[in-house]
Structure 1
Amino acid sequence: MHGRLLAEITHGAHLLRSGRTVGRSSARGIVRRDGRLLMVCSRNGDYKFPGGGVEPGESVPDAVRRELAEECGARVLAVGEPFGRVVEYAVAKEAGYDLFANTSWYLRCEIADELGAQHLEDDERELGLVPTWVDLDEAIGVNSALLAGGGAAPRWLRRETTVLRLLRDEPH
């Protein structure tokens, strides 16, 4: 899959991008309607794009369809070209590896009008994920305030806020 590199984010001080690397791909949906974005809001109040890991043998478009159905109850009508990708680096937790690289693909999607029931995994249920239509500037403002708050922000917050800003700044 091809798509422009939107950002590279390093989690952890003095992380070297060398050595044995284990990777993962994720698919995240960008759904716009009436000037708003479909996002999932966590119990912390932050906004993130619906999405998650690509399973073995699954394509990125199939993964985004599955994730939108699971997290938002959305029926995807069309998956467009990728808006782009963000690569995040962290220390690998897997034995024998030095670096973990997660590539998040952001794909524009069209969905049916009605949202159905969510089918959340245990960790998503613990996060209290709720599908929400939100104004782009509001999502940026909320996420930016949480990032500036100095607390322990979720790892995804930098990634999601970066993509939100890029969406805001893209030519129409």
Structure 2
Amino acid sequence: MRLLKSTQDPAVNLLTARVFYRRAARAIVLLGDDILLLYTQKYHDYSLPGGGIDDGESLEAGLIRELQEETGALAIQILAPFGRYEEFRPWYREGANVVHMESFCYVCRIDTTLGQRGLGETRLEAHEIKNGMRPKWLNIHKAIAHNEKVQRNNPQKGQSIERETFLLKQIVLECL
């Protein structure tokens, strides 16, 4: 899959790093200018639905699982690969001090005639519930403006907001 961007946090020194590698899959689900996103109350930001791929799981199977769990999406169809975002950032678990995260993004479709605009019941993990995560259809331009404002003004912003805002802008350039 084509590389969209590679980033390295200034605090990361790859020469001395203990690196944990993590693969994630993220869904791009559009309906006109609206996009299916996850709003996280803790960080006050919007992100693409998706997450970590389990051992032995394909990117596509992990994407469908994550999209169903986080949004309750119904009748998911993967249409095409979009691109990969690579990042190296500080990490504080699993015996590592750096995570090398690769996010594989796919354009998807869900059946928006089912449920509430294609969404049923979510199956969020405990930390996602604690962080106030919920699915939301939102105009993509409003999502970008919101995330940019959070980046400028919120010292408690999450580590993923740079990636998510970049991806949203890339989606506008290539898909709308």
State the TM-score, normalized to the length of structure 1.
0.89
Aligned partner of 2:140 in structure 1 is 136
Give the CA RMSD over aligned residues: 1.8
2:99 & 2:47 partners in 1: Cα distance?
21
Give the direction of change, closer, same or farther, for the CA distance of 1:34–1:156 in structure 2 (3 Å limit). Answer: same
Give the direction of change, closer, same or farther, for the CA distance of 1:65–1:90 in structure 2 (3 Å limit). Answer: same
Gaps spanning 5+ residues in structure 1: where? none
Correspondences of 1:1-172 after superposition (within 5 Å): 3-13=1-11, 15-18=12-15, 20-43=18-41, 44-93=43-92, 94-95=94-95, 97=96, 99-113=98-112, 114-170=118-174
State the TM-score, normalized to the length of structure 2.
0.87
- The number of aligned residues is 168
The SS at the match of 2:37 is strand
Taking only the aligned residue pairs, the percentage that are identical comes to: 31
1:147 & 1:9 partners in 2: Cα distance?
16
Gaps spanning 5+ residues in structure 2: where? 113-117
The runs of at least 4 aligned residues of structure 1 exceeding 4 Å deviation read none
Displacement of 1:169 in angstroms is 1.8
The SS at the match of 2:166 is helix
1:133 & 1:91 partners in 2: Cα distance?
31
